[in-house]
Amino acid sequence: MVKPTDTHSIEHAALISRLADISQFVGNTPLFPIRNIYQKKGVQIYAKLEWQQFGGSVKARPAFNIFKNAVQDGLVDRNKHLLDATSGNTGIAYASIGAALGIPVTLCLPQNASKERKMILTSLGVNIEYTSRFDGTDGAQARAKEMKEEFGDKYYYADQYGNDNNWKAHYETTAVEIYQQTNQQVTHFVAGLGTTGTFMGTTRRLHEIDPKIQCVSIEPDIALHGLEGWKHMETAKVPAIYDPSIADQHITVDTLAAYEMIKQFAQKEGILLSPSAAANLAGAIKIAEEIEEGVIVTMFADNAEKYSEVMNHLFF
């Protein structure tokens, strides 16, 4: 007869084993060379195709790292939900990993998230708590904290905006991949700010590898922007993991310029980008215009599969 404590140990070991299976599909994303939409002698731009990993999301790395550490520490199991706020991408990564592990996921999501994201989350069995479209992810975070306080032991509140396992995922993987994939030639890293985990973790590691590598953060130029998941730092709730001092340079991008970039990139490079990916490219091109030579790397969070409303507006 198996004792209850033994049953718990067996279940925990099974979760650890399943995490090992999933880990093979997290990270190691390809580096795409930008050849046609922008050309300048002595300058090359590359982008990491981050949707080509488990759950199809740029957030697979931090979501997996947060989940892994929560499982290892016994903070989640098949009876205790992982709870967090999301604009959609991290939520999809949480949902995919949670489904594979058999761990329930509850997400606070702004009502104006794209219908594709809502459909994917629902299909993956997520419990969704919708929050005001006008409050963005700040409102979703507030509701997640309320639910944790209200229902106590039912949830583990992952708090991606304040969880060091977010940026550490990029510190441990993304930066190393960029350095190796560019044959140690990367001179600039350019990325937008949402949870800020991508920029924080990648920048910290790249600066350790080579302090001469310039890391440039990007944010929307106005508070009422159309870049889902990004933050206008002056008016938004600043993530606890964010440290503005580590950026070598900070620039802004206009939403309309990012949307125009979607159209141009599709017709010249053959990939339909998400708005945030296009905004990252717009930022990378800004930096390319400022330098005489270098290798610039940015991040493509998504392709356009989750953004039919944006695509309809742009192309039809």
Whether 65 is covered by a domain: the verdict is yes
Do both 187 and 48 map to the same domain?
A: yes
DSSP state of 237: P
Whole-structure pTM value: 0.92
Q: Looking at the structure, tell me whether residues 187 and 289 fall in a common domain.
A: yes
**135 and 218 inside one domain:** no
Structure confidence by residue, pLDDT tens digits, 147-166: 999 987 899 999 999 999 99
Residue 134 reports pLDDT greater than 90: no
Which of 88, 123, 157 is the last residue in one of the domains? 157
Stretch 139-152: mean pLDDT, rounded? 93
Question: Do 97 and 195 fall within a single domain?
Answer: no
Mean pLDDT (whole number) for 97-124: 93
Categorize the per-residue pLDDT at 7 as very low, low, confident or very high, splitting at 50, 70 and 90. low
Report pLDDT for 5: 55
Same domain, 115 and 183: no
Give me the pLDDT at residue 113, please.
86
At residue 2 the predicted structure's pLDDT band, cuts being 50, 70 and 90, is very low
140 lies in the same domain as 236: no
Residues 200 and 285 in one domain: yes
Q: What pLDDT, on a 0 to 100 scale, did the predictor assign at position 223?
A: 93
| Strand 43-49 with 31-34, pairing | antiparallel
- Structural tokens at position 288: 């390319």
pLDDT(129) > 60: yes
Are 196 and 310 within one domain?
yes
Q: Are residues 20 and 121 in the same domain?
A: no
Residue at which a domain ends, from 93, 126, 157: 157
Looking at the predicted structure, is the pLDDT value of residue 4 above 60? no
> Over the stretch 179-207, which tens digit does the pLDDT of each residue have?
999 999 999 999 999 999 999 999 999 99
Q: Could you tell me the residue range of the domain that residue 257 belongs to?
A: 11-53+173-315
Q: What is the CATH number of the domain that holds 253?
A: 3.40.50.1100
What 8-state DSSP symbol labels residue 170? Answer: I
Q: Please give the C-alpha separations between residue 276 and each of 19, 176, 253, 302, in angstroms, as whole numbers.
A: 29, 23, 10, 8
**Is 18's pLDDT higher than 80?**
yes
269/181 same-domain check: yes
> What integer best gives the mean pLDDT of the chain?
93
Tell me: pLDDT of 28 over 50: yes
121, 48: one domain: no
Q: Which of 125, 157, 189 is where one domain is finished?
A: 157
C-alpha count within 13 angstroms, C-beta hemisphere, residue 193: 29
Ranges of H-type helices in the chain? 4-23, 60-72, 89-101, 115-123, 136-151, 164-169, 175-181, 197-209, 255-269, 275-290, 308-315
Let me know if residue 146 belongs to a domain. yes
Give residue-wise pLDDT tens across range 275-291: 999 999 999 999 999 99
pLDDT tens for 32-68 read 999 999 999 999 999 999 999 998 877 999 999 999 9
pLDDT digits (tens, 9 = 90+) for 61-100: 999 999 999 999 999 988 899 999 998 789 999 999 999 9
If one compares 10 and 266, the residue with the highest pLDDT of the two is 266
At 229-239, the pLDDT tens digits run 899 999 999 99
Higher pLDDT, 250 or 8: 250
Q: Is residue 4 part of a domain?
A: no
Is 166 domain-assigned? no
Residue 2 lies in a domain: no
Q: Is the residue at 168 inside a domain?
A: no
Q: Strand, helix or coil at 273? A: strand
The answer to whether position 235 is within a domain reads yes
Q: Number of structural domains, the chain?
A: 2
Residue 208 is assigned to a structural domain of this protein: yes
Does residue 72 share a domain with residue 44? Answer: no
Token readout for 179 is 């350095």
